[in-house]
Amino acid sequence: MKRTARPENVHQATLLRLLRDGGRSRAELGDVVDLSRSKLNVELDRLVELGLAEPDGLAASRGGRRSGRVRLSPRTRFAGIDIGATSIDVAVTNGELEVLGHLSERADIREGPAAVLERAVELVGKLRREGLCTELNGVGIGVPGPVSFAEGVPVVPPIMPGWDRYPVRETIAQELGCPAMVDNDVNIMALGELHAGLAKNVDDFLLVKIGTGIGCGIVVDGKIYRGVSGSAGDIGHIRVDDLGPVCACGNSGCLEAYFGGAALAREAAALARAGGSAHLAERLAVAGALTGEDVAAAAAQGDPGAIALIRDGGRRVGQVLASLVSFFNPGLVIIAGGVARLGHVLLAEIRSVVYRRSLPLATGNLPIVLSELGDTAGVVGAARLISDHVYSAI
């Protein structure tokens, strides 16, 4: 197989993207593409010659001759790298973006790009040594900050010291010897949901990630909307209250200052010290500090103080989302990220505020749901990002 093979025209690109959702018969492909039967067969045969697809037996008869099935080359391999503030996730997928192997470990983004990217490359090497791939067709990378998508570099990322304009795409492409694309972590999670999650058949939706920071992936017509300078969806610094707490960005009353991971940990500790939560006080005495997971655990045990913290945060997120739902009229809102693991108490509060405050026309058929993909959203989305590139006409 030629690893560098790419589709030669838009028809081939369209066919590869259809096959990415699963192999199918030539007759089924003919039903959805605007090509004559002979032209379709020419393009499919060419994809087989290029090593991008291959025949896969005969389909069941639809009344006439049995049509030949086609699938992506089973030797196709994409890697997805999802770099978080405190973690690295790496996966290798096949052409259909099914995860063949996934490694996850703690990491600190503040160690800088050289160390973090080296570790990510090592993790890909580990999966390779396990026999999951020899060469890669492409790699997608997500990082927790704003990215100049065209240049493949982070741009003034607030929680990534040392990464500003670091050539992430070039570094990874060179190390792994294949095409690479970089985007911010929230956008790649949204792509993951689009490919394999609850947004599979939704053209216009929002993915709200609540983790260390708060961000929003915006999908318009099945594609990530990035805005003119790539900062679209950066909702963590929308001001919810002029008199609110000071944020890491220097302003006050930002959404993130109320309900990012750091804000939640701080509020939980204050509550524990003030005697507002027995569960959290106990945990604080043992661990010396609290995290979002501690709040989730306390709430799961019915701790009223912890539940109140989650409700309060959900209300703030709901206030911001209510405006965005009226403005954007999405078909679906997915809540994801570490803090989203606070679960159904959080979801109930967000739903209640959005359904009450947004325009009825915008919420009439609007599901607001928790992500079901967990840690795989990012790596699958990163693989999807690079496969979109590899499966586009040159």
Which residues here bind a copy of itself, judged by CB under 8 A?
146, 155-156, 203-204, 216, 218, 220, 225-235, 237-239, 251, 319-320, 322-324, 326-331, 357, 359, 361-362, 364-365
Contact at 8 Å (CB) between 231 and 148? no
Structure tokens that stand for 225 in this block:
């909307």
* Smallest gap from residue 151 Cβ to a copy of itself (A): 14
Of 231 and 392, the one with the shorter C-beta distance to a copy of itself is 231
How many other CB atoms are there within 10 angstroms of residue 38's CB atom?
7
Of 95 and 260, the one with the shorter C-beta distance to a copy of itself is 260
* Smallest gap from residue 148 Cβ to a copy of itself (A): 10
* Smallest gap from residue 129 Cβ to a copy of itself (A): 40
Of 178 and 235, the one with the shorter C-beta distance to a copy of itself is 235
Of 147 and 172, the one with the shorter C-beta distance to a copy of itself is 147
* Smallest gap from residue 369 Cβ to a copy of itself (A): 15
Angstrom distance (rounded) from CA 35 to CA 41: 9
* Smallest gap from residue 328 Cβ to a copy of itself (A): 6
* Smallest gap from residue 290 Cβ to a copy of itself (A): 29
Which are the contacts of 266, defined by CB distance < 8 A and separation ≥ 6? none
* Smallest gap from residue 360 Cβ to a copy of itself (A): 8
Of 228 and 286, the one with the shorter C-beta distance to a copy of itself is 228
How many CA atoms within 13 Å lie on the side-chain side of 287? 15
* Smallest gap from residue 104 Cβ to a copy of itself (A): 30
* Beta sheet of 223-224, edge-to-edge order: 223-224, 214-220, 205-210, 333-336, 368-370
Angstrom distance (rounded) from CA 7 to CA 76: 14
CA 118, chain centre distance (Å): 22
Helix (H, G, I), strand (E, B) or coil at 102: strand
CA-based R_g, the chain, Å? 23
Q: Where are the beta strands (DSSP E) in the chain?
A: 24-25, 53-58, 68-72, 78-83, 87-93, 99-106, 138-143, 147-148, 153-154, 180-184, 205-210, 214-220, 223-224, 333-336, 368-370
Structure tokens that stand for 330 in this block:
């999405």
Of 180 and 216, the one with the shorter C-beta distance to a copy of itself is 216
Of 180 and 206, the one with the shorter C-beta distance to a copy of itself is 206
* Smallest gap from residue 210 Cβ to a copy of itself (A): 15
Of 59 and 225, the one with the shorter C-beta distance to a copy of itself is 225
Could you tell me if residue 302 is left (phi over 0), alpha (psi between -120 and 50 degrees) or otherwise beta? left
Among residues 23, 31, 27, which one has the least CA distance to residue 55?
23
Of 54 and 312, the one with the shorter C-beta distance to a copy of itself is 312
In the chain, the amino acid numbered 280 is L
In the chain, the amino acid numbered 87 is S
Angstrom distance (rounded) from CA 376 to CA 290: 26
